Amino acid sequence: MKFATKAVHAGVVPDPTTGAIMTPIYQTSTYVQDSPGKHKGYEYARTQNPTRDALQASLAALENGKYALCFASGMAAIDTVMKTLNPNDEVIATNDLYGGTYRLFVRVFEKFGIKFRFVPMQNAPELAKHFTPQTKLLWIETPTNPLLNIIDIEHVSQIAHAHGAKVVVDNTFASPYLQNPLNLGADLVMHSVTKYIAGHSDVVMGALVTNDEEWAGQLKFLQNAAGAVPAPMDCFLVLRGIKTLHLRMKAHCENGEIIAQFLAAHPKVGQVWWPGFAHHPNHEIAKKQMRGFGGMISFTLKNDSVADAIRFMESLQVFSLAESLGGVESLCGHPATMTHASIPKEERQKAGLRDSLIRLSVGIEDPQDLCDDLKQALASI
């Protein structure tokens, strides 16, 4: 099945009791048993819920994986992956990482004896020297947040596998519409479903998808043992959001290109980061592994002034100043004080993340209105 058909149909079957075409919100904590241990496959809602099952099947189909698990947030999904490791295991992670992921790794899991190395991965040959016999996991984000670096998933997966390590890709920025890491050699895909997959800025959720049966079993055990599961209502909202994922992503990509070109041509704009530019250092890799370049754009002002960047953000009227991304509405964020404030300033600077950097999540509004809004906000500085 092609992507659009999967987005509309995968995982969703008419309700067996009524024929309801949409999966009901099974708002229940428990299920009645005929006799002790004799039940219909559902015992307690932390362990299984039919609305969640439908969503998990949909997500598995979209990522071309066999097993999918949903969690109460993207961070809960990441936390679950980390709990499959043991003390003294090592993780190699992208240096340009979502702030919350960095915080979870360094401030929570280092305490339990897991070691992290944060390294740039655009230059794959450099990567090999960071592996040790203790390296169990390579954790990558591509495109990275907020600098939109692209990592060659196929290449780094080969290097990791040659060293006996597994590969996790945080695919939040691309969404399964633009990129399927499992097909490029990754072992596990993680999503902040909160973003493009849910797509309407009304849910916080995470997901993991894999073809690795043993790992899926461990993760499912932890999902039930620790219990960071999403609510049935939220699963319903995400199932609804997924039905238009392909249409929304197409619009995000089209508007993203228009806005990236607009910014690049504006005299007050300095550097613009968008993987669709032919001069983007990883453009060829992006073309190879993605089906479009997405709606995330970062840029600086030509004068590099933090005060002017703040004035610009305060002047926007169609773009809303807010954390998060991937919703139908356009958002603008300031990584240094918002999404990436949990990364120490020295670490941010090492990764090339300047305090004047502005990040846009381009929505699906009319692109002319979006350009006009950026134009008036740039005129205010």
Answer whether 206's CB lies under 8 Å from 70's CB: yes
* Residue 248 three-state SS: helix
Tokens of 373: 């809004």
Neighbouring C-beta atoms of residue 305, cutoff 10 Å: 15
Q: What are the φ and ψ backbone dihedral angles of 192, each rounded to 5 degrees?
A: -85, 100
β-bridge partners, 209? 68, 189
Answer whether 361's CB lies under 8 Å from 333's CB: yes
Nearer to ligand PLP, 201 or 356 (CB): 201
Using the rule CB under 6 A, give the single segment among 94-102, 132-140, 258-266, 288-296 that binds ligand PLP.
94-102
Q: Please say if 67 is a catalytic residue.
A: no
Tokens of 104: 């979870």
In the shown chain, the binding pattern of residues 44 to 73 toward ligand PLP, with x for contact by CB under 6 A and - for none, equals -----------------------------x
Nearer to ligand PLP, 100 or 185 (CB): 100
* Residue 118 DSSP one-character state: E
Q: Please say if 248 is a catalytic residue.
A: no
Question: Closest residue (Cβ) to ligand PLP?
Answer: 74
- What is the closest distance, in whole angstroms, from the C-beta atom of residue 252 to ligand PLP in the complex? 14
What's the CA gap between 232 and 24, in Å, rounded? 9
Answer whether 231's CB lies under 8 Å from 73's CB: no
In the shown chain, the binding pattern of residues 145 to 164 toward ligand PLP, with x for contact by CB under 6 A and - for none, equals x-------------------
- What is the closest distance, in whole angstroms, from the C-beta atom of residue 63 to ligand PLP in the complex? 15
What's the CA gap between 255 and 266, in Å, rounded? 17
Q: Please say if 170 is a catalytic residue.
A: yes
- What is the closest distance, in whole angstroms, from the C-beta atom of residue 347 to ligand PLP in the complex? 17
Answer yes or no whether residue 75 interacts with ligand PLP by CB under 6 A: yes
Selecting among 89, 170, 187, 373, the annotated active-site residue is 170
Among 23, 56, 58, 101, binds ligand PLP (CB under 6 A): 101
Answer yes or no whether residue 170 interacts with ligand PLP by CB under 6 A: yes
Answer whether 298's CB lies under 8 Å from 357's CB: yes
Q: Please say if 46 is a catalytic residue.
A: yes
Q: Which residues, 299 to 338, sit near ligand PLP by CB under 6 A?
A: none
Q: How far is CA 127 from CA 82, 93, 105, 163, in A?
A: 21, 10, 19, 11
What's the CA gap between 159 and 152, in Å, rounded? 11
- What is the closest distance, in whole angstroms, from the C-beta atom of residue 234 to ligand PLP in the complex? 11
List the one residue out of 99, 57, 94 whose CA is nearest residue 75: 99
Answer yes or no whether residue 100 interacts with ligand PLP by CB under 6 A: yes
Answer whether 259's CB lies under 8 Å from 147's CB: no
Selecting among 15, 42, 46, 287, the annotated active-site residue is 46
Answer yes or no whether residue 206 interacts with ligand PLP by CB under 6 A: yes
Binding site for ligand PLP (CB under 6 A): 73-75, 98, 100-101, 141, 145, 170, 172-173, 192, 194-195, 204, 206
Active site residues: 46, 98, 170, 195
